Amino acid sequence: MPNVVSQIAAAITADKTFLLTAHISPDGDAVGSIAAMAWLLIKLDKKPVIFLESGVPSYLEWVELPCEVLTTADELAACQPNRIIVMDCGDSHRSGEIMTEFLAQSDAPVINIDHHLHNPMFGELNLVDTNASSTGELVAGIIDQLDVSYDGFLGESLYLAISSDTGRFAFNNTTARAHEIAAQVISTGLKPGDFNEKLDSDWSINKIKLWAELFANIEIALNGKVAYLTLPKALFERTGTEYSDIESIINYLRKIENVDVAMTVRETESGSKASLRSHGAVDVQKMAASLGGGGHKNAAGISLELPLEEAVEALLATIAQNLVLNEA
Ligand code: 5GP
Ligand code: MN
């Protein structure tokens, strides 16, 4: 691992223009890792270019980036990076259709920085550590190698990445290293209270009413082992909200007693997208992978080309196969 970190640091030192990308529908780790890497490159007098097919989600629009975010195939075709850095993608396809095509035809070597299970090591250089709390934690290792400080937006970006993937330092993936990086960021001036205000305040009335409606409509299945929500597009249209408004509600489904798997299934352009969460030994990565998805042991996701109701059925059947159910 340290060897790869120094190889990546050497590649960054040697080259000039870097295309940075992460998984589609980026979360705090994806956006934070991209932002931290972009600020690192600026500090080293390099040129970062960011591509995110689905853009930056509205709840992360406050994140400071040193360059614009490209979102279209035409914009991407016009950029000629020396290197491509793909972050927080369990496989290269997670970067989205446009980026996947670009990766296939580009000669630029790829640096793959990730912490998902079963990453196929698609880069020329692969910094993949499934024990890392977040991709941000791995980016911090590269920043250390290049002897750059965590002050300003760079530090805030690292804090965003790590606190997002650890559920604000609450999940079992919260490493000592995650706390050490956070401590260093705080020592350079970040105020955790102010940071969390930016990340999660100013809820619209529509948003909080949607939370109330969804809490009232949680569905329980498989002898109480599964709690889930079905999220048709029409729900968001009717309530003037978007999926990112309730993305974290799944963590509340997981709190219900005896629930082993929490699930949300939302309607998408191509069918359905599910998120799965679990406790301890219950492995949702395995369940998602058996249907073509992936992620981590306790947090996984999957896209299905099925209408919502059929997707829920297929997911419940897969979960049932994997769980030991206490028959009543
Ligand atoms: P979320 O449920 O928040 O979308 O994702 C949970 C975890 O599963 C994240 O680490 C995410 O990268 C991964 N994940 C989500 N959707 C997919 C998918 O369709 N395929 C794969 N391989 N991983 C996914
Ligand atoms: Mn991550």
Q: How far is CA 300 from CA 4, 288, 291, 303, in A?
A: 27, 6, 11, 11
CA proximity to 77, closest of 56, 105, 54: 105
Torsion-angle region of residue 22: left (phi > 0), alpha (psi -120 to 50) or beta? beta
Cβ of residue 301 lying under 6 Å from some atom of ligand 1: yes
For ligand 1, is residue 141 a contact (CB within 6 Å)?
Answer: no
* Nearest residue (CA) to ligand 1, atom 6: 300
Closest C-alpha to 292, from 278, 279, 306: 306
**Nearest Cα to 51, choosing from 22, 83, 74?**
22
Predicted confidence at residue 324, as pLDDT, reads: 79
Q: Which long-range contacts (CB under 8 A, 24 or more apart) does 94-102 make?
A: 94/23, 94/24, 95/21, 95/22, 95/23, 95/24, 95/53, 96/23, 96/24, 96/53, 96/54, 97/53, 98/51, 98/53, 98/72, 98/73, 99/21, 99/51, 99/53, 101/73, 102/51, 102/73, 102/76, 102/77
Question: In angstroms, what is the span from residue 152 Cα to ligand 1's centroid?
Answer: 29
For residue 296 and ligand 1, the question of a CB distance below 6 A is answered with yes
Atom of ligand 1 nearest to the CA of 264: 2
pTM of this prediction? 0.95
- φ and ψ at residue 274, rounded to 5 degrees: -115, 145
**Position in ligand 1 atom list of the atom nearest CA 23:** 12
90 lines ligand 1 (CB under 6 A): yes
Interval between CA 327 and ligand 2 midpoint (Å): 36
| Smallest CA separation from ligand 1 atom 16, residue | 301
pLDDT at residue number 66: 98
Q: What separation in Å is there between the alpha carbon of 175 and the centre of ligand 2?
A: 14
pLDDT string in tens for the chain (328-residue length): 669 999 999 999 999 999 999 999 999 999 999 999 999 999 999 999 999 999 999 999 999 999 999 999 999 999 999 999 999 999 999 999 999 999 999 999 999 999 999 999 999 999 999 999 999 999 999 999 999 999 999 999 999 999 999 999 999 999 999 999 999 999 999 999 999 999 999 899 999 999 999 999 999 999 999 999 999 999 999 999 999 999 999 999 999 999 999 999 999 999 999 999 999 999 999 999 999 999 999 999 999 999 999 999 999 999 999 997 755 4
Cα(87) to centroid(ligand 1), Å: 13
* Strand-strand pairing, 294-295 and 299-304: antiparallel
DSSP 3-state helix, strand, coil percentages of the chain (rounded to 5)? 45, 20, 40
Nearest ligand to the CA of 33 is 2
pLDDT value, residue 95? 98
Whose alpha carbon is nearest atom 9 of ligand 1? Answer: 295
Question: What is the whole-number distance in angstroms between the Cα of residue 165 and the centre of ligand 2?
Answer: 6
Q: Is the CB of 57 under 6 A from ligand 1?
A: no
pLDDT at 2: 66
Distance 119 CA to ligand 1 centre (A): 12
Q: What is the pLDDT of residue 325?
A: 73
Does residue 302's CB lie within 6 angstroms of at least one atom of ligand 1?
yes
Q: What DSSP line would sit under 71-117, residue for residue?
A: -SHHHHHT---SEEEEES-SSGGGG-HHHHHHHHH--S-EEEEE--T
Position in ligand 1 atom list of the atom nearest CA 247: 3
Of 25, 27, 59, 94, the residue with max ligand 1 atoms within 8 A of its CB, to mutate for a pocket test, comes to 94
User: Ligand 2 center to residue 316 CA distance, Å?
Assistant: 25
Between CA 24 and CA 306 the distance in angstroms is 19
28 lines ligand 1 (CB under 6 A): no
CA atoms of 300 and 132, how far apart (whole Å):
16
Structural domains of the chain, with CATH: 2-199 (3.90.1640.10), 205-327 (3.10.310.30)
300 lines ligand 1 (CB under 6 A): yes
CA 103 – CA 91 distance, rounded (Å): 12
